Structures are given as structure tokens and as C-alpha cells.
Structure 1
Amino acid sequence: MKVTWTYDRGDHRDNHETDVTESAALETLLAEIHQAGEPVVVTILSDTADDPDDLPPGLQVGLGHPTHAFAVHIADDGGYLHDRSVEAPARGIRFDFGGVPTEYPAEHLRLRPGTAIRVAGTFLATGGDPPHVPAVSG
């Protein structure tokens, strides 16, 4: 799967793209991105689209905030994943999305970073099956 993320560096955008085929490698990469401490949206695409204006099926995860993250399944029947045991933060959090600082509403930020990383690893391991929050969160 193709993995992309971009940081806004003021005078330029810092673009990253890589192909990952193993879930352990994806989880390691996402943990490194998260540990950098710069909130960013990572897009994981399961295949390429014929139309460059269409986003192919995939998963986006927001990482880099110390306590809150998000995961959204990109599909016709997709949506944000939530862990009911995680309280939403007091307010939205800004993540770099394609190099554009973007505010994500608090109600979409009901995952812990470790959970979002595991969801992404499972998404890759299953070949892009619809993701779900694991029974044990972290």
C-alpha cells in the first residue's frame, strides 16, 4: 500500500511517500511519525485510482498529538472510527493534511495513537478490509 504524509514548513511543503507491504513495517513507520510530535495526517491507499481526482479506497490516520488520534476509512460506506472508552479532547486539534494545517473536530478524535497505529496495521494485513477498533485499546 502507498503511504503519504506532508508537513507545512512555512516556505515549503515537506512531502513523504513510501510503499509498505508488511503490517509490522507500517506500524513501525507510523510509530516513528507519531513520536516526532508533529500532528499530521497519514494517508494509506490500498490501490490507485484511474481518475486522479478520485481518492482510492484507503485509511487516513491523524498522529503526532500526545493523547488523541483519529482514523477514518476512505470508502463509500466509510467513516471515522471511535473508541467509546476514549473521551474526546476539550477542543479540536490541528493536523497537517497535505501540508495544510487542518482543524479536526473533537468528536472525531476518540482514539489513542497506539490504537490508530494498530488499526492501520490491521488494515494493511487484511488487504484493505473495512477497519474496526480492536477490543482492547491503548
Structure 2
Amino acid sequence: TLNQMIISAYLNEHDWKGQITKYNDLYRSRRDAMLEALAKYLPAGVTHTRPEGGFFVWLTLPEGIDTYALLQQGVKAGVIFIPGAAFSPSGQADNKLRLAFCSVDEKTIDEGVQRLSGLLKNEISKL
């Protein structure tokens, strides 16, 4: 079909393997920047995953912090995340959140993690 011919021509004429390597390097750099910022700024009591693939880091906050409520504060502070309950059919992941690192540069990641950490410190102090 026409679609198959277009894809075949692209694969024959472009360095798609090099493009994959380029993006792997870019995303690894951004992931590492996020992990470094999390290690530097996160308050005690907050843990996070270390992804070996994908585009997201998951944070687990102390019990009693509702990440849906925290999201509104995040929007006001200029930092966005996805509440973990959005990924749970039972809505039981209230104290978890997902951070994306693939679409922003390292400087922005550092700034975002600093802002988020300030919000988290404030919420933890209320427990």
C-alpha cells in the first residue's frame, strides 16, 4: 500500500537507527537530571523510582497527602504532575504522583523539582 511504500522509502533513506540513539541519549540525560534534582531537593519521607525505560518517575509521598489537592497548588506554583490516583482503577494511589522528564530541558527539570519540593515540604509539615 502507499503507506508501506512511504515507510519503506523513509527507512531506506534516513538514519533511523541514529535517530533512536540520539533520542535515547537525550532522554537519558533528562532522566538523570531529574534523578539528580530529586536527590538534591526532595524532603525526607518522599521516595521515587529510578526508571530504566519510559518517560516518567513516580514519587510516593507520606500517607495523608492527597496529590489531587496538591495539584492545584502545583499549578499555581508553575509545576505540573499527574496524581497517581488517575492511574488506579480504585483511586487508591492518593499519595503517589507521576513526573514526566522527556519534554523539558535539564534546567527546567531542576527548577520544577525545586518548586515541587517546596510544596511537598509544606504539605509534610502539616501532617
With normalisation by structure 1, the TM-score equals: 0.27
Could you say which structure has the greater relative contact order, defined with CA pairs below 8 angstroms and 6 or more residues apart?
2
- Which structure's CA Rg is the greater one? 2
Q: Which has the higher helix share?
A: 2
Q: Which has the higher strand share?
A: 1
